[in-house]
Each structure stands twice: as structure tokens, then as C-alpha cells.
Chains A and B, each alone.
Chain A
Amino acid sequence: MDNVAEVLRKPILPALAILILVLLAASPSYAPGYIVVLLTDIFMYSIMAVSWAMFSGPTGYISLATAAFFGVGVYALALLGFILPLPAVILIGGLVSCCLALLVGALTLRLKGIYFAIFTFGLIELIMNLLLWWEVNRSGTVGRLAVPVDYNTVYYVMLGILTTLLLTAYLIRRSRFGLALRSIGDCEEAAAHIGINVTALKTTIFAISAFFLGASGAIMATRWTYIDPRIAFNPQYSFMPVLMAMFGGMEQLYGPILGAAVFTYLEELLITKFPYYYMLLFGIILVVVLLFLPNGLVGLIQKWRKGGSIRQRANT
């Protein structure tokens, strides 16, 4: 009920969100195909960045497993795409990622921060190497063909996943669950002492975020005609979301989306003509953000509006 009351008091933001959603949902009917494809890319990176921020933002654990969960979805499509209907494959991609995250989380989320980061990064390479070995030595293939799906379907599925993810992230942030997660990030020992089951909570949110990554991987794979383990488990997909979320800022839900939009557009502009300059720029921006923009673009916006926001808080 709190949520409803809040929405009624400040109707502008939800109304704006619905307006944007309607505009986006209708865009294949008025926008050129190029824009639809670009938007799909932005959705993909937004899903990655928001999922990453949903887990790593409040808890402070840096996960580099994004590419692993996304890759599981991609590979689910490569293996099952011609056997099962598309919605089933997307669901399976999400669920397998989710199970993998539950397993990995239960095993490793007891590890302290930095070990967890290394472990999750190792996970991508481990799965990739095992799959490569299995494909070459056992199934005798080096690559698989993806089932083709038209661009508008991919677009709508991506939009659907992103919307569900945003709703989930929003509700979690406002719930006791979200509060407990933030207390873990602030001080894990204290959180455990006031009766929060820290490992179970971390594992749950890790698994929820992995579901969305796996599902988006499965649908995104249909746009690539050829899939092999190296393409599916590209470590780049673990770093991009981190940079996007940090560049955008994690204080607000729209921060990672802002970051995703900026970087997807930059990638679109630069990667075909100047791939190495793009990656160079990527590295430089990452370092600059760490040094000078600790709260990202959102932090910058909030700093700029600071006077107003403090007075607002005093009223309530």
C-alpha cells in the first residue's frame, strides 16, 4: 500500500515512465529499422547494467559473472533453438542461469569481496574452456547456427525483459529485502548480528539478476547467425555493464540505463571503424570515472540539484 500512496502523491515519474514505455513499444511502427536495432542493443546493455547494479550496487560485491550468465542463455539457444519453441528456450536460458547462480552463490558468496570477484571471473573462462573442449572432442562441432528471428520480435522480447527487470528492481529496492541488502553493503557483520541471513540474501538476489541475464542472452543470440563458446562467453560482457553502471551512477534505477545508452551509442559510432580507439577510450573513461565521478552521472545531476532536494527532505 505504501507504494500506491507514494505513486498517488508524486504522479509525474510513473506517468513519464509509462509514456516512455508506450513510445518505445510503438517505435517499430514509426522508427527506421536501424533505430530499432540500436534500441535493442541499448536494451541488452541496460539489462546487463541494471542486473549488475541490482546485485553489486547494494551489496558491494563486484560480480564479473555477467558474461557467464548471459553466455549460458546464448548457448541454451544454440543447443535448443531448433528443437524447442522460442519462449521455452528463453525461459530455459533464464532458469539455467538462475540455477548456476544459486550454485555459485551458495558456494562462493561466503568469500570476502575480492575473492568473489576473481572467482566469478574465473567462472566465465572455466565454462568457456569446458564447452570448447566438449564441442571439439565430444560433439565434434566448432560452432552452431542460431535460429533466425526477425528484428521486431527480438526488440519486443528485449523490451519485455527490461521492463520486468526494472519493475523487479524497483520493488526490491523499496522492500525489506532491499533494505537488508543495503545493510549487507554497509556492514556485513552488523547485518548478520541483527538476524539477517546474509548468505541466503546475497545468493537470492544474485540468482534473480542471473535469470534476466540468461533470458536476454537467449533472445540476443538469435541475432547472431553463428555461435561458438568464444562468442557466447565474451569477457567483454562482464566489464561493459560494470563501466556502464558506474558511469551512469547506481544511486538511482535509471543511472545504469543512462550509462548503457551512452556507451552503446559510442560503440555503434566507433567500433566498426576504430575498434582499438574505442577500447582505448573505454579504458580511459573507466579510470576517469573512478577518479573523478565516484557517483556517476546521476551523482553529478544530484549534486547540481542539491539545494532543492535537501529542502524537499526537510518537509516530509
Chain B
Amino acid sequence: MIAMVLDVVIGGLLMGGIYALIAVGLSLQYGVARVLNISHGEFIMLGAFVTWSLYTLFGITPLASIVVCGAVVFVIGFVLHRTLYSRIRALSESLAIFEGNSLLASFGLLFIIQNMAILMWGGEIRGYSYLAFPVDFWGATFAANRLVTLLFAVLIGTAFYMFLARTRLGKAIRAAAQDLVAAGLMGVNIDHVLALCFGFGAAMAGMAGSLISMSYMISPVMGMEYTVIAIIVVVLGGLGSIPGSFIGGLLLGLVGSLVSYVQPGLSLAAYYVLFMLLLLVRPTGIMRR
């Protein structure tokens, strides 16, 4: 009995840690930069495949790849915002039009990144074994790599939260999230801050991808599933709320773990039902008043 409960709860938290990291990334991109980035999952896929390539070709440990992926994907995200999204922002008459057009642009990016990855790495499902020894918790067993994953997700999340709460740049980002125009008037370089946010969001996706590749199978079309989960979590936690996203991610992991324990195969459908109910009942999320 205890083993079963632990299995569901710890399993949920392990999955939830990844969800939380992904959702914090999307929350930065949508909550601050106002881009609902449907290609978020593609950056996760990029991180996963770079890590896989570095490990299988050069034997570089995935834990080191996390840093590499984070940096590379950050630059990609920053440049994308500076070239693509800031131009769309300048072309759009209102925020609603910008949100619509940037959503469509990220659909375009999704197709571009995904198909480039298929052309580069092939369409097969891949995986490798790293830190795969079992760890026992009073009868519930988990692979060590999944525990490492949760540890890193919490570390990255906490570090970023400290950055937002304690540094000047973090303050500028929070100001931009509250009110773009007012923040601009107070001397925040809006274009720069938004591009940074988009880059940070992408970097989180890239790092999450590295972590995912350690314990799950990866394929070039894996991104969409994670994007959908990230969107659900961001809505669950309240748009633009970083702690909300983190808690929402852990919660969704628990829900998914519970549902797949009771009725395997329905966990994705359960996410959607939860998500649709939330949109209808409380579109501002659990953390926003």
C-alpha cells in the first residue's frame, strides 16, 4: 500500500519537475514577451538531440551537455526574438494582433525546426543509458537518472527565481511583465529585455531536453506533447506567474501519475479535460487573483 502511494506520488513529482521547468520557460515567453511559443517543445527536442549526439559520438556526459544546450538554445532564442518577433511586434497594430501573429509564426518555426531535425538526425526513436541503476524508496523503485532530473529541475528553477528576485535585470523583467509601456518609460530597454526573456525561456526548454534525454526515449516529433503540457501548466499556474508555473508543473505531474495509475492511456485526455475546465472556470490560473 505504502509502496503504491509512494510510487504514484514520487513518480508524479519526478515527471512534475520536468513539467515545471518547461512551463517556467514558456511562462517567460508568454507571460513577459507575449509570444505563445508553440515551438517551445522543438527547443526541448533540440536539447535532447544535442545531448544524445554529444554522448553517443564523443562520450560527453549529459550533465555537462545541460550547460552547452542551455547556452546554445539561449542564443538561438535571443536572435529569433531580435529578428522575427520584434519585427512582428512592430508590424502589429495591437497586442491582440501581435499575439495572433506571433502564435502563427511559432507554428512556422515548429515546422522548420522539426523537419530540419528529421533531415539531420532521421526520424527514428532514440535513447541511451546513463545512470540507469535503481534506487529504492521503501518499496517503490526509480531509476537514478530520473532523480537526477528532478534535482536539476529544482536547482535550475530556484536559481532562476533568485535571479528574478535579487538582480537588477530580474527586476527589469518583472517590471516588463507587469506593464510593458510603464517599464519602458522607467528606462527599461524593452526590446532587449523581451529578447532576453525569450532566450531564457528557450534555454530552459533546451536544458529540460537534456534532462529528458537521460531517462526517456527521444524522437524529432516529441516536442508537441511537451508544448501542450507546458501550455496547460502555464494556464494552470496563471500567465506570467513563475512560482505558479513551477507549482502547476508539479501538480500536473501528480495528476498525470494518478490518472495513468487508475486508467493508463487516458492521462493525456485527463490533461486536456483539466485544462479546458480551468480555461472555463478560472482562466487566470491558481496563483492570480
Please name all residues of chain A whose beta carbon is closer than 8 Å to the beta carbon of B50 when the two chains form the complex: none
Known A-B contacts A114-B99, A284-B112, A290-B101; the reply to A126 vs B273 at CB < 8 A is yes
Cα distance, A294 to B228, chains bound together (Å): 28
Within 8 A of B (CB), among A273-291: 276-277, 279-280, 282-287, 290-291
Within 8 A of B (CB), among A202-256: 235, 239, 242, 246
A33 interfacial by beta-carbon distance below 8 Å: no
Contact B119 A280 (CB under 8 A): yes
- On chain B, which size bracket covers the interface? 35 or more
Segment among A11-19, A105-113, A168-176 that sits at the interface with chain B: A105-113
Contact A283 B99 (CB under 8 A): no
Contact B104 A113 (CB under 8 A): no
Please name all residues of chain B whose beta carbon is closer than 8 Å to the beta carbon of A62 when the two chains form the complex: 100, 103-104
B266 interfacial by beta-carbon distance below 8 Å: yes
Instruction: Report the minimal beta-carbon distance from B270 to chain A, rounded to whole angstroms.
Output: 9
Q: Which residue of B has the minimal Cβ distance to A291?
A: B87
Please name all residues of chain A whose beta carbon is closer than 8 Å to the beta carbon of B114 when the two chains form the complex: 279
Cα distance, A117 to B106, chains bound together (Å): 13
Known A-B contacts A122-B228, A279-B114; the reply to A133 vs B96 at CB < 8 A is no
A143 interfacial by beta-carbon distance below 8 Å: no
Within 8 A of B (CB), among A123-141: 123, 125-126, 129-130, 132-133, 136-137
Please name all residues of chain B whose beta carbon is closer than 8 Å to the beta carbon of A118 when the two chains form the complex: 36, 231, 235, 279
Cα distance, A134 to B265, chains bound together (Å): 10
B109 interfacial by beta-carbon distance below 8 Å: yes
Contact of B115 (CB < 8 Å), options: A123, A235, A283, A294: A283
Cα distance, A114 to B84, chains bound together (Å): 19
Contact of B104 (CB < 8 Å), options: A115, A125, A242: A242
Known A-B contacts A108-B279, A126-B276, A279-B114; the reply to A246 vs B104 at CB < 8 A is yes
Nearest 7 A-B pairs (CB), nearest first? A283-B111, A286-B108, A283-B112, A129-B269, A126-B272, A287-B108, A280-B115
19 examples of A-B residue contacts, CB within 8 angstroms: A60-B100, A62-B100, A113-B96, A117-B36, A118-B36, A119-B279, A125-B268, A126-B276, A129-B266, A132-B265, A137-B265, A279-B111, A283-B110, A283-B115, A286-B107, A287-B84, A291-B91, A291-B105, A294-B91
